[in-house]
Amino acid sequence: MTLEELILNCKKNDLKAQEELYKKFSGTLFSICLKYSRNYHEAEDNLQDAFITILKSIAQFKGKGSFEGWMKRITVNTVLQKYRKQRVFNLSNEEQIEEEAEIEIEDTNIPLDFLLKIVQELPDRYRLVFTMYVLDGHPHKEISEEMKISVGTSKSNLARARKILQTKIENYNRENDSQ
Amino acid sequence: MKEKKHIDQLFKERLKNFEATPSPKVWDYIQAKIKAEEKNRKVIPLWIKLGGVAALLALMLTVGNSIFGPTNNTPAITEEKTDVNSQNSETNTINIENDIKKVEVVSEDKNLIEDANENSSYKNEDIKKNSKNSETEIAYENDAKNTSDKNESNSENIIKSPEKQTSNVNEAVAENKVKNNNSDLPSNTKNTDDESLIIKENAIPVPNNKEAVVENEVIDEKKFDVPTTTLETDKKETEVAVTEETNKRSIFDAIDETNEEEAIVAINNKPDNRWGITPYVGPVYYNSLSEGSSIDPSFSDNPKSGDLNITYGVHVSYNLNNRLSVRSGLSNVNLSYSTTGIELGNGPVSAALKSIDYRKKDNVVITVDKGHLNNQIQEGEFGTITPKSTSGEPSLNQKISYYEIPLELKYALLNKKFGVNLIGGFSTLFLGENEIIVAAGGFNETLGEANNLSTLSFTTNIGFGLNYSFSKKLMFNIEPMFKYQLNPYTDSSVDFKPYYIGVYTGLSFKF
């Protein structure tokens, strides 16, 4: 089936179409979940919820814009919503730090798994900002609106995230260097 | 070779577009959830649909009940039955025309009744347990009689645990409509045979059923005092319930099987000759559903009797489709009834009945309840009343003439040379002439007009029609109809709930 046909049939609640849609896009959507979630397990939960939402609201997709983009947005929103409920975004009295000048790092063929892991290990607020900004290219303004934080806080969180990641990578490199 | 990169770039390169595979349990979970939601979603519209069907069927039932109660017009689904039907219908229309006091139909078919008696008494035992259950039981029994190939699905449906009376039967109907594709005509004939036997025997006085219909629009048995000499016993009442329930089944069968026949035999759906003009005439019987009097509250408990009069008019009808037509028209209907148990006197207008506009302005005939005057001059606050001697039993007659404009829907249950229809709708009534007359022996005087009659009133109408098509353009109809008046009096305290039953006989010209 073409994507159009898939969408059409999913709107009719055709189970086969739904399954095919899942098979086609679950990889992409899951990776998004992995980048936003704290760990693999949580990522799976989020993927479940996101995909159910997608199937339920597919009738509202009117063909405007990219379908994949639409699904991705739903996926990200699912995670964000969950964190909102958990009050992850509550104002903290963290001191805002300045963005540092370009942080550079040595790329020693660090495995993807590791990179993913350290992103996941970031505190939620930092991870979300980092992922949204760096990996998904959202400007700070959007991020601040989404997370109900100020632009300043968004920038600060990004800076903190980068610092942590940098440290971890440097540690990793050091460890591997010695081998 | 080590490369220095901006940290952002590093992550971007590696993490931006990777794909990962979730474990299979994710899809399992999603699937399960979606299926559960689907099920919920489907149930609600289904119930809305069933509710809609139920409402429509309830409407048709109220119509059908008035038909199938006193008559044995079990829907002759098959053509083989039509001649039987027409014969029966003739008997029935005659019965309706007759004074309802006589349950003549019972005497008409003694043999059938004897058989039916056996049948119904057998049924009664089962039924007496619980009227709710009985419906399902009867339905089941009826179905069980049918040959299995057609009605296995029927019985299944009906045996389903009945939570609600109507919903259960409606479920059956809904399922029937979907599932039933094989009509085994001979078996149906058998089925209707049995039902018609029962129904014939249960020729209960018309008002019973009709009143129930009117009061609730739901099948309900109510007792009320209609001056009838029926073979009334408890048994009969239960049998009414039985009949009504079996009627339900038979109507569903009828509708259902006529639908099937249409599917099997491709019928041309576009009727030619959509318009029709039908002049008609017929007898009308007038009475009230309640005890009161429209003339004076003091006559509430007096014996009253409805009279037979005449109605004539013309209907204009338009066929919406092969089965449904809408019609209006204009007619004149004359109604009258009389009150007895009174005494007459002479006296001033101020002492006379308040609901009458007297023609004479000074001394008028005074009408009071029997025993009031006792052949003595009465001095009251309103004046002196001198008793009037009369040679016969005095009676107070009210005559009313209305101009009626009906708006009715006619649904054809059977649409062949012989037709059977259900009719329902409303009429607008414009008051014409009316008078109240006092009569006794040879003496006869018009007191005047009633002043409490509404100039504009309405009726709700239900009935059925039988017709015979001489040709595509000419059709003979006979339509017994029950019309209940909605707001006949300007005074809401009047406890008279009039209705009239007419048998409209006419010739339809189609064009």
d(CA B126, CA B235) in angstroms, rounded, equals 13
- Do B241 and B293 lie in one domain? The reply is no
Domain for residue B7, yes or no? no
**For position B424, what pLDDT does the model report?**
93
d(CA B478, CA B471) in angstroms, rounded, equals 16
Domain for residue A132, yes or no? yes
Are B319 and B325 within 8 A, CB to CB?
yes
Q: Which of B237, B264, B291 is the last residue of a domain?
A: B264
- Do A74 and A132 lie in one domain? The reply is no
Domain for residue A156, yes or no? yes
Q: Which of B241, B264, B287 is the last residue of a domain?
A: B264
| A41 close contact with B: CB closer than 8 A | no
Domain for residue B355, yes or no? no
Going by pLDDT thresholds of 50, 70 and 90, the confidence category of residue B259 is low
Task: Judge: B10–A110 Cβ closer than 8 Å, yes or no.
Answer: yes
- Do B431 and B305 lie in one domain? The reply is yes
**For position A93, what pLDDT does the model report?**
62
Domain for residue B254, yes or no? yes
Helices (H) and strands (E) in chain A, counts: 8, 1
- Do B259 and B284 lie in one domain? The reply is no
User: Which residues on B lie below 8 Å from A27 (Cβ)?
Assistant: 19-21
| A27 close contact with B: CB closer than 8 A | yes
Question: For an interface test with A, which of B9, B11, B12, B17 has the most A Cβ atoms less than 10 Å from its Cβ?
Answer: B11
**Number of structural domains in chain A:** 2
Domain for residue A97, yes or no? no
**For position B213, what pLDDT does the model report?**
40
- Do B93 and B228 lie in one domain? The reply is yes
Q: What is the mean pLDDT of residues B345-365?
A: 79
- Nearest to B347, CA basis, from B334, B360, B336: B360
d(CA B93, CA B479) in angstroms, rounded, equals 9
Top pLDDT among B460 and B381 is at B460
Lookup: tokens for B480: 């017994």
- Do A14 and A62 lie in one domain? The reply is yes
**For position B297, what pLDDT does the model report?**
80
d(CA B443, CA B280) in angstroms, rounded, equals 35
Q: What is the pLDDT of residues B84-117, one digit of tens each?
A: 444 444 444 444 444 444 444 444 444 444 444 4
Highest mean pLDDT among B67-76, B210-219, B464-473: B464-473
Question: For an interface test with A, which of B2, B10, B31, B33 has the most A Cβ atoms less than 10 Å from its Cβ?
Answer: B10
The minimum CA-CA distance between A166 and chain B, rounded to whole Å, is 7
Exposed, middle or buried: residue B36 (CB in 10 Å: 0-12, 13-18, 19+)? exposed
User: Which residues on A lie below 8 Å from B2 (Cβ)?
Assistant: 106-108
Place of tokens 């959509």: B274
Domain for residue B386, yes or no? no
pTM to 2 decimal places = 0.39
**For position B356, what pLDDT does the model report?**
85
> How big is the A-B interface in CB pairs under 8 Å?
98
Point out the residue among A19, A28, A166 whose CB comes nearest to the CB of B7: A166
pLDDT higher than threshold 50 for residue A155: yes
Domain for residue B17, yes or no? no
Q: Which of B203, B233, B264 is the last residue of a domain?
A: B264
| A37 close contact with B: CB closer than 8 A | no
Lookup: tokens for B476: 């003979």
Residue B184, beta-bridge partner list: none
Domain for residue B487, yes or no? yes
Domain for residue A105, yes or no? no
pLDDT higher than threshold 80 for residue B491: no
- Do B249 and B338 lie in one domain? The reply is no
Q: Which of A18, A50, A85 is the last residue of a domain?
A: A85
- Do A71 and A140 lie in one domain? The reply is no
- Do B206 and B82 lie in one domain? The reply is yes
Point out the residue among A52, A102, A108 whose CB comes nearest to the CB of B34: A52
Point out the residue among A13, A22, A44 whose CB comes nearest to the CB of B38: A13
- Do A81 and A124 lie in one domain? The reply is no
pLDDT higher than threshold 70 for residue B184: no
Q: Which range is least confidently modeled, A84-98, B307-321, B337-351, B488-502?
A: A84-98
Top pLDDT among B178 and B254 is at B254
Point out the residue among A22, A35, A106 whose CB comes nearest to the CB of B3: A106
Are A133 and A140 within 8 A, CB to CB?
yes
pLDDT higher than threshold 90 for residue A53: yes
Domain for residue A121, yes or no? yes
The minimum CA-CA distance between A94 and chain B, rounded to whole Å, is 23
User: Which residues on B lie below 8 Å from A48 (Cβ)?
Assistant: 26, 29-30, 33
- Do A64 and A118 lie in one domain? The reply is no
Point out the residue among A26, A52, A107 whose CB comes nearest to the CB of B10: A107
Domain for residue A167, yes or no? yes
Task: Judge: B15–A27 Cβ closer than 8 Å, yes or no.
Answer: no
| A103 close contact with B: CB closer than 8 A | yes
Going by pLDDT thresholds of 50, 70 and 90, the confidence category of residue B251 is low
pLDDT higher than threshold 60 for residue A153: yes
- Do A69 and A116 lie in one domain? The reply is no
Residue B417: give its domain's CATH number.
2.40.160.20
- Do A173 and A117 lie in one domain? The reply is yes
**For position B477, what pLDDT does the model report?**
92
Domain for residue A92, yes or no? no
Question: Looking at residue A58, what DSSP letter applies?
Answer: G
Domain of A134 in residue numbering reads as: 112-177
Residue A22: give its domain's CATH number.
1.10.1740.10
Q: Which range is least confidently modeled, B122-126, B390-394, B397-401?
A: B122-126
Domain for residue B27, yes or no? no
Going by pLDDT thresholds of 50, 70 and 90, the confidence category of residue B388 is confident
Q: What are phi and psi of B331, to 5 degrees?
A: -150, 165
- Do B282 and B140 lie in one domain? The reply is no
The minimum CA-CA distance between B13 and chain A, rounded to whole Å, is 9
d(CA B381, CA B377) in angstroms, rounded, equals 13
Q: What is the mean pLDDT of residues A122-144?
A: 93
Q: What is the mean pLDDT of residues A117-133?
A: 94
Task: Judge: A105–B2 Cβ closer than 8 Å, yes or no.
Answer: no
Domain of B321 in residue numbering reads as: 275-342+399-510
pLDDT higher than threshold 80 for residue B327: yes
**Number of structural domains in chain B:** 2
**For position A75, what pLDDT does the model report?**
95
**For position B111, what pLDDT does the model report?**
47
Highest mean pLDDT among B229-233, B337-341, B426-430: B426-430
- Do A9 and A63 lie in one domain? The reply is yes
Domain for residue A47, yes or no? yes
d(CA B350, CA B379) in angstroms, rounded, equals 12
| A177 close contact with B: CB closer than 8 A | no
d(CA B45, CA A62) in angstroms, rounded, equals 24
- Do A18 and A77 lie in one domain? The reply is yes
Task: Judge: A135–B16 Cβ closer than 8 Å, yes or no.
Answer: yes
**For position B422, what pLDDT does the model report?**
93
Domain for residue B115, yes or no? yes
**For position B311, what pLDDT does the model report?**
92
**For position A39, what pLDDT does the model report?**
94
